[in-house]
Amino acid sequence: MKTRKGKELGQYIVMDPDICHGQPTFKGTRIMVKSVLEMLVKGGTGSGSRRRMMAGSIALQSLRFSHLQARLS
């Protein structure tokens, strides 16, 4: 059984060195938080699964993460 090396950054976001080179991603996916934030900044709503992914608390969690990162830098 493989042990997790990742770090949880909230309810939906994790950082794992084995996934996307340790970039923050949404749990259980390889969707990077920065990709979602870039789509939101560009005003994109996407369609289908992207729209569902960006809706509600997942988008809110990515915005909270972005705010935290900005405060730390």
| CATH number of 26's domain | 1.10.10.10
What pLDDT, on a 0 to 100 scale, did the predictor assign at position 57?
65
In a domain, 1, yes or no: no
**45: amino acid identity, one letter:** T
Query: Do 24 and 65 form a contact (C-beta atoms < 8 A)?
Result: yes
What pLDDT, on a 0 to 100 scale, did the predictor assign at position 23?
92
Number of folded domains that form the chain? 1
Distance CA(17)–CA(44), nearest Å, equals 29
Distance CA(24)–CA(56), nearest Å, equals 18
In a domain, 12, yes or no: yes
In a domain, 63, yes or no: yes
In a domain, 34, yes or no: yes
Strand order in the sheet with 25-26: 7-8, 13-15, 25-26
In a domain, 26, yes or no: yes
State the virtual CA torsion across 47, 53, 57, 61 in degrees, nearest 10.
-120
Report pLDDT digits (tens) over 10-59: 888 899 999 999 999 988 889 888 887 787 777 765 555 555 655 566 66
> Residue 22 belongs to what domain range?
7-72
